[in-house]
Chains A and B, each alone.
Chain A
Amino acid sequence: MTDYDKRKRKCYCCGMASERWELMSSNSFGSRDLDQRPPGMFRSTVDAWLQECPYCGYVAPSIDKGDANARSFVETPEFRAASLDPLAEPASRRFLVRAAQDAFYGDRRSAFLNTLRAAWVADDSGRASDATALRLRAAGHLGEGPLTSLDTRLLLLDVLRRAASWHAAAALIAELMAEELEHPFADIVAYHRRRIEVRDSGRHTIAEALARESEPDRGEADPELVKAIARHLKIVRKPGGSS
């Protein structure tokens, strides 16, 4: 069950009060996508994850909260460029404004995540080419330098695959496989490798990736293999005698 409630908040940056429907509760049963997009009802609440002040354009999870960076960012050309983007729809634009603020202050991972969320909004609206462009833009926020965060690299891998950036995805897979990752990370990477081999840029969940990577069911053993093992055991027993 997803609940919304109408709340009035005073903007942290301009001090003006405004009212909006806010997300009170929701649920997310099931498996997340491979880019960590949540499942269940919560999945469709994405347009309520960020609030925007209708007076100054400040964007935040809760517009009555912020820090010194927030106040100074609303004065920058980067803020104006992002908040006045005529092409983006409102929910997508809010994530892009937030991403612009993250990028402005050097928080590459947050800029990447917020741009990815803008791509989710585009996915939901069926704007596939916008979603691809936004995924590439998200990857761009992470820059060319080496990434140490495993979590970020696993997210990036899905972003590159969904954007059909096959070469970059394959290079990242090679890098991750060289690290001899443990379960479940190795299974996720192997799943991506197979999807990339067949040029699949579709949406998949973590559960799918892990289900296909699980060991074969031992209850359905090959009868020929059982016979071969039995023959081998007879041969081994001979020198020992009766047992």
Chain B
Amino acid sequence: MTSFYAPNHLKHIAGLEKRFGPVSDEVATGLRSLVRVICQHEDPVEAIPFLERCLALEEALHGSEATLSDLNTWIGQAGGVDFEDLEPLQLRRLAVKTEVFGETSEQVAAECQALAQRYGSNVPYRKARALLERSIAIKEKLHGADSVEVAEAVDLLAETSARLEKWKDVEADLQRSLELKEEIFGARSEQVARSLLAAAIVYANASKLQQSGTRHERIRKAVSAFDSGLNLLEERFGPDSFEVQNALEAMIRAYVECREFRRAEPLLKRLLAIREKAYGNDAPALLWILTELAKGYAEESVDEAEPMLERSFAMLRMLLDAKKPIFRPGIANLPGNGDGVLEQLVRASDRFRSNLRKRWGAAG
């Protein structure tokens, strides 16, 4: 026992046991008080043995429903606790809720989702999936198979599978989500558009590390889903809208990530044109687009690489100019494989020079 507060509290609890009996509300209250103090000032894990005793007493005195309040309080305070310490108590809360509210209840569905999200970031994917399927089954009974609640739960299932890169499952989940949304919101709704865009990004990501045949098929699916989703967003919000820009940006990042520059290029050019029109030709919002274009062209096209590299370097110089220091933090924070924009451009420039030497006859 390492808790500073436990010895004194336990002495007091021993007195309560003598006076009121070992199975009494007074002893449970004493234990609850000790658990609260430890959670407030020490590691909540230290409180688990006392919490277990307290829960056993409450269950014996008032039934399992009475334990929910203490379980909720401890779980609510256990944010930084390791999942292996948290899991038994969260499973216990799920069992209690199932007993108290019945399997087909919002409370059990929500608990399944909460627990699954914890599993989703803690490796046991199968357990998470089983809990989410259970939550979906409950919601289907409560709200109907074609309901917003079920669609949200299916999205959560897809998100969990995607986070753990279970691509086959993600594809099936997204298809399920798409069909549901077409049924609920209509085939040309914003929700369907967003599902299609999510599917496109998943297909692109899933193409990584695949053999060329499978990779090509996944990319083809990505392009098709993206085009359909983008069409719906354009229809609803307009071709230059923020929604369309966000969709372009997300898809560009997915293509760049899976080294499909030729697919990303038309989207980059379109986003560049929209932003040039909106913010002018030297806006900081253009720099990452120019950099991606310069990097891509440097790999394969001398004709296009040189002007793009020149423009990117010129813009970077202008933004880093002492007269405009306001842009410096923004540039430093621009994402890109762990390097800053300058490093990326210098590497692209080296690559371009090497390709230029080959173009003019240098060996290798």
Decide if A113 is an interface residue (CB 8 Å cutoff): yes
User: Which chain A residues border B123 with CB–CB below 8 Å?
Assistant: none
Chain B's nearest CB lies how many Å from the CB of A50?
Answer: 15
User: Which chain B residues border A152 with CB–CB below 8 Å?
Assistant: 306
Decide if B302 touches A151 in the complex (CB within 8 Å).
Answer: yes
Decide if A237 is an interface residue (CB 8 Å cutoff): no
User: Which chain A residues border B273 with CB–CB below 8 Å?
Assistant: 67-68
Name the contact of B310 in the complex, choosing from A148, A185, A187, A188 (C-beta under 8 A): A148
Interface residues on A, range: 20 to 34
Chain B's nearest CB lies how many Å from the CB of A153?
Answer: 11
Cα of A151 to Cα of B352 in the assembled complex, Å: 11
Decide if A206 touches B361 in the complex (CB within 8 Å).
Answer: yes
Cα of A151 to Cα of B361 in the assembled complex, Å: 12
Decide if B362 touches A150 in the complex (CB within 8 Å).
Answer: no
Decide if B310 touches A184 in the complex (CB within 8 Å).
Answer: no
Chain A 153-193 residues near chain B, CB threshold 8 A: 154, 182-185, 187-188
* Per-residue contact bits, chain A 25-52, to B (CB 8 Å; 1 contact, 0 not): 0000001000010000000000000000
User: Which chain B residues border A113 with CB–CB below 8 Å?
Assistant: 303
Decide if B357 touches A184 in the complex (CB within 8 Å).
Answer: yes
Chain A 199-243 residues near chain B, CB threshold 8 A: 206-207, 209-210
Cα of A154 to Cα of B361 in the assembled complex, Å: 13
Name the contact of A188 in the complex, choosing from B269, B302, B360 (C-beta under 8 A): B360
Decide if B114 is an interface residue (CB 8 Å cutoff): no
Chain B's nearest CB lies how many Å from the CB of A79?
Answer: 20
Chain A's nearest CB lies how many Å from the CB of B311?
Answer: 12
Residue of A nearest to B357 (CB): A184
Decide if A150 touches B307 in the complex (CB within 8 Å).
Answer: no
User: Which chain B residues border A154 with CB–CB below 8 Å?
Assistant: 360
Cα of A188 to Cα of B361 in the assembled complex, Å: 9
Decide if B303 touches A109 in the complex (CB within 8 Å).
Answer: yes
Cα of A184 to Cα of B302 in the assembled complex, Å: 16
User: Which chain A residues border B41 with CB–CB below 8 Å?
Assistant: none
Chain B's nearest CB lies how many Å from the CB of A120?
Answer: 16
Decide if B360 touches A206 in the complex (CB within 8 Å).
Answer: yes
From known contacts A68-B273, A148-B310, A151-B356, infer whether A184 and B303 are also in contact, taking CB-CB under 8 Å: no
Name the contact of B359 in the complex, choosing from A148, A151, A182, A207 (C-beta under 8 A): A151
User: Which chain A residues border B303 with CB–CB below 8 Å?
Assistant: 109-110, 113, 151
Decide if B362 touches A184 in the complex (CB within 8 Å).
Answer: yes
Cα of A67 to Cα of B306 in the assembled complex, Å: 21
Tally the A-B contacts, defined by beta carbons under 8 Å.
40
Decide if A210 touches B361 in the complex (CB within 8 Å).
Answer: yes
From known contacts A148-B310, A150-B356, A151-B356, infer whether A207 and B302 are also in contact, taking CB-CB under 8 Å: no
Chain A's nearest CB lies how many Å from the CB of B280?
Answer: 16
Decide if A207 touches B306 in the complex (CB within 8 Å).
Answer: no
User: Which chain B residues border A210 with CB–CB below 8 Å?
Assistant: 361
Cα of A150 to Cα of B359 in the assembled complex, Å: 12
Chain B 232-274 residues near chain A, CB threshold 8 A: 269-270, 273
User: Which chain B residues border A187 with CB–CB below 8 Å?
Assistant: 361
User: Which chain B residues border A110 with CB–CB below 8 Å?
Assistant: 303
User: Which chain B residues border A67 with CB–CB below 8 Å?
Assistant: 269-270, 273
User: Which chain B residues border A183 with CB–CB below 8 Å?
Assistant: 357, 362
Chain B 278-313 residues near chain A, CB threshold 8 A: 302-303, 306-307, 310
Chain A's nearest CB lies how many Å from the CB of B248?
Answer: 14
Decide if A184 touches B269 in the complex (CB within 8 Å).
Answer: no
Chain A's nearest CB lies how many Å from the CB of B359?
Answer: 7
User: Which chain A residues border B360 with CB–CB below 8 Å?
Assistant: 154, 184-185, 188, 206
* Per-residue contact bits, chain A 129-151, to B (CB 8 Å; 1 contact, 0 not): 00000000000000000001111
Residue of B nearest to A152 (CB): B306
Cα of A189 to Cα of B2 in the assembled complex, Å: 81
Name the contact of A207 in the complex, choosing from B269, B307, B361 (C-beta under 8 A): B361
Chain B 309-364 residues near chain A, CB threshold 8 A: 310, 356-357, 359-362
User: Which chain B residues border A36 with CB–CB below 8 Å?
Assistant: 359
Cα of A207 to Cα of B362 in the assembled complex, Å: 10
Chain B 59-96 residues near chain A, CB threshold 8 A: none
User: Which chain B residues border A148 with CB–CB below 8 Å?
Assistant: 310
Chain A's nearest CB lies how many Å from the CB of B94?
Answer: 55
Name the contact of B306 in the complex, choosing from A151, A185, A209 (C-beta under 8 A): A151
Chain A's nearest CB lies how many Å from the CB of B353?
Answer: 9
Decide if B361 touches A184 in the complex (CB within 8 Å).
Answer: yes
Decide if B359 touches A209 in the complex (CB within 8 Å).
Answer: no
Indicate the member of A109, A182, A184 with the most B CB atoms within 10 Å.
A184
Q: Given known contacts A184-B357, A188-B360, what 7 new A-B pairs fall within 8 Å (CB)?
A: A68-B273, A148-B310, A151-B306, A152-B306, A185-B357, A188-B361, A210-B361
* 8 pairs of A and B residues whose beta carbons are closest in the complex: A206-B361, A184-B362, A184-B361, A210-B361, A184-B360, A149-B306, A151-B302, A151-B356
Chain A residues at the B interface, C-beta cutoff of 8 Å: 31, 36, 67-68, 109-110, 113, 148-152, 154, 182-185, 187-188, 206-207, 209-210
A selection of 13 A-B contacts at a CB cut-off of 8 Å is A36-B359, A67-B273, A109-B303, A109-B306, A149-B307, A151-B303, A152-B306, A154-B360, A184-B360, A184-B361, A206-B361, A209-B361, A210-B361
